[in-house]
Structure 1
Amino acid sequence: MAKAVKKQALGRGLSALLKDPNNDIQSATDKNADKVVGNIVELEMESIDVNPFQPRSNFNDDALQELASSIRELGVIQPITVRKLDFNKYQLVSGERRFRASKLVGLATIPAYIRIANDQESLEMALVENIQRQDLDPIEIALSYQRLIDEIQLTQEKMSERVGKKRSTITNYLRLLRLDPIIQTGIRDGFVSMGHGRALVNVEEKQDQIALYEKIVGENLSVRDTEKAVKEYQEGKTDTNQNDSVSGKNQKKSTSNPDFVIKNLGTFTEYLSAKVDIKASEKGKGKITIPFHSKEEFDRLKKLITGE
């Protein structure tokens, strides 16, 4: 207990330092910055603004109430992280659930780690820390990864290092963004799982995605059943295309790929994060086609395939 009291007293002492206009810390090189940055400081709730870069957009009211009850009994166990904007003014980097729950309880102050960062660094910290620590839904995670790519220019390899996830895991999340928005909403609302989404993303036509999605929800299909339905769709699509391309005497009996191709097609698509077309005979002879739409995409595929 003595340790806890000492820790809170230290936080209050640092808070007083931050509220002294003669000790306004704006950069890591300023006087007394080393006493504040990285330490736990008790900050007034009203001095903190929410982060506009926050990737989480849905906050479950029941879960917030549960967290508020825990904070009421035990206090804020894990400090939030903020960045300094101005004199006695801060912006939330991570920990918005704790911040919101503390407001519900009516706390006047909250323990916080202070960082000094520009907007881009703040965005990166918010995205990375929320991916690691928060219970984001799969689409929110995918959007966070995409923002790291678009706004921070992180490659999937670098992102893998930053968030501690395999590159294939990141790729699987990003592929969900190819789904029709209706299906993305269904994943966010819990009507279907990420596993369902991973199967549906192999269907290129959005209207066909939605038709299969409605079948999944209506018939309560499992992920395995969904994968089977997608496989049947793809085989039916191939047969239809073959029938449409030939006529009269030249019309040939349509054939599907052998089992070894069908079984492994998803592995190629998942690893390369690209639509892969494989045609093969029962004897094992065939070809693999990998389309690309830009030099950047070509270079990405080359690196994955050759390792160079």
Structure 2
Amino acid sequence: MANKKSKGLGRGLNELFADNGVNTDEETVVDLDLNVLRPNPYQPRQTFNEDALVDLANSIEKSGVFQPIIVREAPDQAGHYEILAGERRVRASKRADQSQIPAIVRQVTEEQMMEIGVLENLQREDLTPLEEAEAYDMLMTNLQLTQAQVSERLGKSRPYIANYLRLLGLPKAVKDMLQDNQLSMGQARTLLSLKDKSKLGALAKKAAEEKMTVRALEAEVNRLNGKAKKSVKKPLKRKKSPFVRSTENQLQERFGTQVSINETAGKDHKGKIEIDFMSNDDLNRILELLKINQD
């Protein structure tokens, strides 16, 4: 056992630990056996870059681990610990045939455990879009938080959170493509605008195979959406003014979904606003943004 200074984990994590009365400037570092460590049960990251792990393992084999990991005692197994921060270092240490790793043991609540799992990865910016979306959904579900509360806790805008949560409404096959980096976040968001959801999987596959740009995919989505409307006779619409187009953009950013403002030609100047949603959960999210009581 030795005393060392631990490096900071970022402003968000330090504030989280400070709420629990923990001094993050200087703490006791202990050596723990790797076989008593297990991942944070709320770890949102599902995949780890193999090349990066190999490089880190080579570094650890030569120089050891300089920054201790952060753990808590496992609540259901004496002598075991759950990793709050540093799972990559643990995995790389095992690859480097190490038996122990320096660690700081902290007392944290289950709620903090969830937040740390998300924050530690968000600050590293190595989550896939789908993993990030699932992390936000996990916080909302397990801690019974609203989007606004998640936004405030994590320092992200509400539209930013909403845009990621919408990805969870994609079909599984499309989500798998997003997780495997066959589709980008921009492409996935564009696909969500497709009105005929039965064509979503085929279009996603086409976008991946042809390496379509987001702009090209938007054009294809607009073309398919236009086809779906041809069979329905609708009132003549006005050409949208710059003000209407600007308002549409603001509403789309606000609700994190496709929004259309349509005006009909004529003296009555009637029109309508259409807000797309992917599922009941997506609808509830929009109603929450509108502050509409859903009870």
Structure 1 residue corresponding to 2:3, chosen from 4, 10, 24: 10
> What letter is aligned with 2:70?
T
Sort the Cα spacing of 1:180 and 1:204 in 2 relative to 1 into closer, same or farther, 3 A: farther
Structure 1 partner of 2:203: 212
CA deviation profile, 1:45-88 (whole Å, cap 9, x unmatched): 23322233222111232221122123233433433221123654
Sort the Cα spacing of 1:298 and 1:156 in 2 relative to 1 into closer, same or farther, 3 A: closer
Structure 2 residue corresponding to 1:45, chosen from 17, 31, 34: 34
SS in 1 for 2:224: helix
Aligned residues: 268
More divergent stretch after superposition (103-112 vs 285-294): 285-294
Structure 1 partner of 2:272: 287
Offset at 1:112?
Answer: 2.2
Structure 1 residue corresponding to 2:177, chosen from 186, 189, 203: 186
Structure with the greater alpha carbon radius of gyration: 1
Offset at 1:130?
Answer: 2.1
Structure 1 partner of 2:288: 300
TM-score by length of 1: 0.73
Sort the Cα spacing of 1:259 and 1:42 in 2 relative to 1 into closer, same or farther, 3 A: farther
Does the aligned pair in 2 maintain the 1:239–1:255 contact within 8 Å? no
SS in 2 for 1:10: strand
Sort the Cα spacing of 1:225 and 1:66 in 2 relative to 1 into closer, same or farther, 3 A: same
TM-score by length of 2: 0.76
Structure 1 partner of 2:55: 66
Sort the Cα spacing of 1:37 and 1:146 in 2 relative to 1 into closer, same or farther, 3 A: farther
Distance 2:28 2:189 in 1: 42
Unaligned runs of 5+ residues in structure 2 are 5-19
Does the aligned pair in 2 maintain the 1:40–1:113 contact within 8 Å? yes
Structure 1 partner of 2:11: none
Sort the Cα spacing of 1:228 and 1:203 in 2 relative to 1 into closer, same or farther, 3 A: same
Structure 1 partner of 2:43: 54
Offset at 1:137?
Answer: 0.8
Unaligned runs of 5+ residues in structure 1 are 1-7, 12-27, 244-251
Distance 2:85 2:103 in 1: 10
CA deviation profile, 1:206-242 (whole Å, cap 9, x unmatched): 32211221221232210111112112222222233x2
Structure 1 residue corresponding to 2:148, chosen from 157, 160, 164: 157
Whether 2:101 is the aligned partner of 1:94: answer no
> What letter is aligned with 2:53?
L
Offset at 1:149?
Answer: 0.7
SS in 1 for 2:215: helix
CA deviation profile, 1:128-148 (whole Å, cap 9, x unmatched): 322222511110111111101
C-alpha RMSD over aligned residues: 3.4
Offset at 1:95?
Answer: 1.9
Whether 2:256 is the aligned partner of 1:273: answer yes
SS in 1 for 2:194: coil
